[in-house]
Amino acid sequence: EVQLVESGGGLVQPGGSLRLSCAASGFTFSTYFMHWVRQAPGKGLVWVSRINSDGSKTNYADSVMGRFTISRDSAKNTLYLQMNSLRVEDTAVYYCVRDNNFKIDYWGQGTLVTVSS
């Protein structure tokens, strides 16, 4: 059974940093592209970042470019999102998702990041 379990969310002040983790199991992690998708409270889903299967290529939404860094550790079957210079508008539930040939087929339960003073 495919499982994606996010952790690392919490309350942080504007300008602060946070690192999210996503533990993957039930599939061969190293063969899939992975993404982060976020959902602000009461709002819709928004794509944040993507990393290819071997970690050599990354992409970011314009809103987070230069502030967020996606990475992965295939030895630990874990996906990461390092978030720096956080803004109030980054407040959201962050989901780790699996990309299976142009479709997102599995989602984690999400981890809440709250940016507030």
Partner 1 sequence: QSALTQPASVSGSPGQSITISCTGTSSDVGGYNYVSWYQQHPGKGPKLMIYDVSNRPSGVSDRFTGSKSGNTASLTISRLQAEDEADYYCNSYTPSITLPFVFGTGTRVTVL
Residues within the interface to partner 1 (CB under 8 A): 35, 37, 44-47, 50, 59-62, 65, 95, 102-110
Q: Which is nearer to partner 1, 65 or 88 (CB)?
A: 65
Q: Which is nearer to partner 1, 13 or 109 (CB)?
A: 109
Q: Does residue 30 sit in helix, strand or coil?
A: helix
What span, in angstroms and rounded, lies between the C-alpha atoms of 102 and 81?
Answer: 21
Q: What is the DSSP letter of 63?
A: T
For 26, phi then psi, to 5°, come to 85, 5
Q: Which is nearer to partner 1, 13 or 100 (CB)?
A: 100
Shortest distance, position 98 Cβ to partner 1, whole Å: 10
